[in-house]
Structure 1
């Protein structure tokens, strides 16, 4: 694969070379290679390709639904590689499926294992802005009352991006069924705190209760604002959004 420069963008095949765009940049590669649609569907040698395509398609569909479910945490923000990053998570969870044969492995089976749940909790959803790095405090989740508490809070230890005067903290419980892909996001009121905030404890409780659709995930989000003449402006820097799944209800 090679990049090319031109006064205009070519899309298609010319002289045995495929021209297309990848992440907004024009690239090209030699056409062909034997991977025709018919060959993939029928050749015995393509069985692994068919199996991979089936599992990849399931993960991609889950990926789209999951991103829709957590969209309130990143409204008005564009993640160029968010889909591919989550595909890494979901294909890894799919590979943990201990009961299904290759080509039929599913994410929800992987999440039945403790290892799968740990993967969901430890995954870096937003590497440029990790909530536990921005807020280096303990997160206490009370699943009985669906309340998140951040004790021993000190604003001086919170990381701010350039230009930010306020930090917005959002907490929600995502009730997500990884088998049926049904979901409901239950949010708490967003806390928007100035740099000179002096409180030492934060507490957030969701406004509505989950109804048992599926796995209940504690999700935490960070956004930044700049105040100018009394008006609040949302900052759109690439490190201006932080999202994490920090707890799973047992």
Structure 2
């Protein structure tokens, strides 16, 4: 791959060169000499087909999860969350030790301790890691999805960004079946408070237990706001908001 230094900005294919715009500017690469038909049918590309099928499965599973938690995710994600989650789902898929190569699945990987460990702790906003934002211990009741933060002192237990005057905390309890795409997300009422030195016990209890026979996933979200004339505004469009998958069962 090479970087185009010309003042002429080209995008598209010219002869055997493909020009495109990336994060580092306008780039150019050679066009692949292998046809799609050959990759699809030639025995020499069997491993390529298997890798492609499994990559697609991991990407689809990541998409299923993102869509299942849109109510939490919309204002608590980074620009690379899709690719990062696909990479994580690939690790989960690799924990499937029973399916043939090319047919390994995330749903089967999540039946194993290794697969659950690969997904557990995923931060949807890499610019706001939960453990760096919330400087307080918490407990999770896996039966109800309730998260308890005793003796919460916002000024001391948060690494709040400059300009933040208020914070909201929210818990999510999701049941999702990655085979059928059946999903049910239950959220807690949002707890909102001023960022001060007042001791405020926090209990975030989802309104119900989600139905389904898939995996149980638990989430904790921290979002920051700035109050102006009695109205709270999202701080920098959620760039400092944290959302983490804190447990997988």
Q: Which secondary structure state, in structure 1, belongs to the residue aligned with residue 39 of structure 2?
A: helix
Equivalent in the alignment of 1:150: 149
Equivalent in the alignment of 1:72: 71
Q: Which secondary structure state, in structure 2, belongs to the residue aligned with residue 125 of structure 1?
A: coil
Q: Which secondary structure state, in structure 1, belongs to the residue aligned with residue 120 of structure 2?
A: helix
| Equivalent-residue separation in structure 2 for 1:201 and 1:238 (angstroms) | 24
Q: Which secondary structure state, in structure 1, belongs to the residue aligned with residue 209 of structure 2?
A: coil
| Equivalent-residue separation in structure 2 for 1:78 and 1:89 (angstroms) | 15
Equivalent in the alignment of 2:10: 10
Q: Check 1:5–1:164 CA distance in 2 against 1; reply closer, same or farther (3 A cut).
A: farther
Which string of whole-angstrom CA distances, capped at 9 and with x for unpartnered residues, describes residues 106-125 of structure 1?
11111111121122213343
Contact (CA 8 Å) 2:167, 2:224: kept in 1 or not?
A: yes
- Higher relative contact order (CA closer than 8 Å, sequence separation 6+): 2
Equivalent in the alignment of 1:58: 57
Which string of whole-angstrom CA distances, capped at 9 and with x for unpartnered residues, describes residues 72-131 of structure 1?
223256632111100110001111111011100011111111121122213343332122
1:53, CA displacement in angstroms? 0.7
Equivalent in the alignment of 2:139: 140
Structure 2 residue 94 is the aligned partner of structure 1 residue 95: yes
* TM-score, normalization by structure 2: 0.90
Contact (CA 8 Å) 1:161, 1:239: kept in 2 or not?
A: no
Deviating more after overlay: 13-22 vs 187-196: 13-22
| Equivalent-residue separation in structure 2 for 1:148 and 1:237 (angstroms) | 25
| Equivalent-residue separation in structure 2 for 1:3 and 1:90 (angstroms) | 31
Deviating more after overlay: 86-95 vs 8-17: 8-17
1:243, CA displacement in angstroms? 1.2
| Equivalent-residue separation in structure 1 for 2:76 and 2:139 (angstroms) | 28
1:192, CA displacement in angstroms? 1.7
Contact (CA 8 Å) 2:76, 2:239: kept in 1 or not?
A: no
| Equivalent-residue separation in structure 1 for 2:238 and 2:207 (angstroms) | 29
How big is the alpha-carbon RMSD for the aligned residues of Structure 1 and Structure 2?
2.1
Equivalent in the alignment of 1:127: 126
Equivalent in the alignment of 1:203: 203
Equivalent in the alignment of 1:228: 228
1:212, CA displacement in angstroms? 2.4
Contact (CA 8 Å) 1:74, 1:241: kept in 2 or not?
A: no
Q: Which secondary structure state, in structure 1, belongs to the residue aligned with residue 236 of structure 2?
A: coil
Equivalent in the alignment of 1:35: 34
* TM-score, normalization by structure 1: 0.90
Contact (CA 8 Å) 2:78, 2:125: kept in 1 or not?
A: no
Where does structure 2 lack aligned partners over 5 or more consecutive residues?
Answer: none
Where does structure 1 lack aligned partners over 5 or more consecutive residues?
Answer: none
Equivalent in the alignment of 1:180: 180
Equivalent in the alignment of 1:214: 214
1:183, CA displacement in angstroms? 0.9
